[in-house]
């Protein structure tokens, strides 16, 4: 397994492999790899000849008061996981390599990025869209994998790849969960013992919303209130948003028709947790 630190070496490596007819699978990450990342890497390993994992804590997607400085960094452990999973290249550039002096381009996907995470974290998706565009241009993957836990991020990335005619296919991999339903996230390590016990309430609330829809409820507001009541039953939880949305536009739905995505974010102490549950209503036969 090779570690590449510079953008030119990354682009050269990918060009050489493509010339040799090798297919490249790509898993972009910010490190602190967990079982969710492992699932993406395994999917890439199965589908492609060579696998690249990027590990880059992207400063431009963090707000000034967010956790950039204390975001978990554990390159040695991440390398061990990648080695075990048969990764060919870890791309771990420095911030200076990705954003050299004079860098000024910004990629924005304003409509999909406006609500939800975009409201809570202004500029976040601009940072994500810009770095993902750079990473995809450097790695030139045949297939890139993103986790469904960050549903809005996946929607933003899908849109930019389509709008900018980026080659390669994007695959969104289902969320990997702990046995009590908590979605895996690198930030779960920040949870105290009590917060960790409480955290699955977000998934329970989203599931309660999905169950209501499957039981015949179609009113967006009603489903949203039901989810909010479930999370606020836990006194230590501050809900940020619980929403019933159209999965392609991420706009709130007044009435659920065929497909909906239930999105949620809560705060538990200093930790923000996100999750989502897709719902499809099967037509009556
Ligand atoms: O989901 C992440 O880990 C990051 O947002 C990504 C896609 C690697 C961009 O920095």
Kindly report, residue by residue over 269-279, the tens digit of the pLDDT: 999 999 999 99
Cα 127 to ligand 1 centre (Å): 9
Sign of CA dihedral 99, 103, 104, 105: negative
Residues with Cβ within 8 Å of 69's Cβ and at least 6 positions away in sequence, in order, are: none
pLDDT in tens, 34-53: 999 999 999 999 999 999 99
The verdict on the CB of residue 30 being under 6 Å from ligand 1 is yes
State residue 284's pLDDT score: 74
Q: Examine the residue annotation and report whether 173 is marked as an active-site residue of this protein.
A: no
pTM: 0.97
CA-CA distance, 245 to 201, in Å (whole number)? 20
pLDDT in tens, 186-215: 999 999 999 999 999 999 999 999 999 999
Cα 195 to ligand 1 centre (Å): 24
User: How deeply is 102 buried, as exposed, middle or buried, from its count of CB atoms within 10 A (0-12, 13-18, 19+)?
Assistant: exposed
Q: Identify the three-state secondary structure at position 162.
A: helix
The verdict on the CB of residue 29 being under 6 Å from ligand 1 is yes
Q: Supply the DSSP string of 89-141, one letter for each residue.
A: EEE---HHHHS-TT-------HHHHHSTHHHHSTTHHHHHHHHHHHHHHHH--
Give 196-223 as a 3 state SS string.
HHHCCHHHHHHHHHHHHHHCCCCEHHHH
| CATH code 3.40.50.620 region(s) in the chain | 2-173
CB distance 118 to 152 below 8 Å: yes
| CATH code 3.30.1300.10 region(s) in the chain | 186-275
Is 186-275 in CATH node 3.30.70.580?
A: no
- CA-nearest residue, atom 5 of ligand 1: 128
The verdict on the CB of residue 135 being under 6 Å from ligand 1 is no
Mean pLDDT over residues 252-264, rounded? 98
The verdict on the CB of residue 131 being under 6 Å from ligand 1 is yes
Cα 185 to ligand 1 centre (Å): 11
Question: Which of these, 171, 107, 167, 117, lies nearest to 138 by C-alpha position?
Answer: 167
Q: Is the predicted pLDDT of residue 124 greater than 70, yes or no? A: yes
Mean pLDDT over residues 71-94, rounded? 98
Architecture of domain 2-173: 3-Layer(aba) Sandwich (3.40)
Mean pLDDT over residues 117-140, rounded? 98
State the catalytic residue, choosing from 37, 123, 173, 194. 37
> Candidates 27, 30, 141, 173: which one to mutate for ligand 1, based on the most atoms within 8 Å of Cβ?
30
Q: Supply the DSSP string of 229-271, one letter for each residue.
A: HHHHTSTTEEEEEEEEE-TTT-PBPSB--SEEEEEEEEEETTE
State residue 83's pLDDT score: 98
CA-CA distance, 132 to 129, in Å (whole number)? 5
Cα 270 to ligand 1 centre (Å): 20
State residue 144's pLDDT score: 99
State residue 285's pLDDT score: 63
Could you tell me what percent of the chain has a pLDDT over 70? 100
- CA-nearest residue, atom 2 of ligand 1: 29
The verdict on the CB of residue 185 being under 6 Å from ligand 1 is no
Mean pLDDT over residues 47-65, rounded? 98
State residue 133's pLDDT score: 98
Cα 86 to ligand 1 centre (Å): 21
């Amino acid at each position: 397994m090779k570690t590449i630190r510079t953008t030119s070496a990354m682009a050269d490596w990918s060009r050489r492999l493509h010339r040799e007819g090798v297919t490249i699978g790509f898993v972009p990450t910010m490190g602190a790899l967990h079982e969710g990342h492992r699932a993406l890497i395994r999917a890439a390993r199965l589908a492609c000849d060579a696998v690249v994992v990027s590990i880059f804590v992207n400063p431009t997607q963090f707000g000034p008061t967010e956790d950039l400085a204390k975001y978990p960094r554990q390159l040695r452990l991440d390398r061990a996981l990648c080695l075990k999973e048969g990764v060919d290249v870890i791309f771990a550039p420095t911030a200076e390599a990705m954003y050299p002096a004079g860098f000024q381009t910004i990629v924005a996907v304003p409509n999909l990025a406006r609500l939800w995470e975009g409201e809570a974290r202004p500029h976040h998706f601009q940072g994500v869209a810009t770095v993902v565009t750079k990473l995809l241009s450097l790695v030139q993957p045949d297939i890139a994998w993103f986790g469904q836990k960050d549903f809005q991020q996946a929607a933003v990335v899908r849109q930019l790849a389509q709008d900018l005619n980026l080659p390669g296919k994007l695959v969104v991999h289902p969320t990997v969960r702990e046995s009590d339903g908590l979605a895996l996230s690198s930030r779960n390590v920040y949870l105290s013992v009590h917060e960790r016990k409480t955290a699955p309430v977000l998934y329970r609330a989203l599931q309660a919303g999905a169950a209501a829809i499957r039981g015949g409820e179609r009113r967006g507001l009603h489903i949203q209130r039901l989810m909010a009541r479930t999370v606020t039953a836990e006194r230590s939880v501050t809900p940020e948003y619980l929403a019933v949305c159209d999965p392609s536009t991420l706009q709130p739905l007044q009435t659920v028709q065929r497909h909906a995505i239930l999105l949620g974010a809560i705060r538990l102490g200093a930790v923000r947790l996100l999750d989502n549950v897709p719902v499809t209503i099967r037509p009556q036969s």
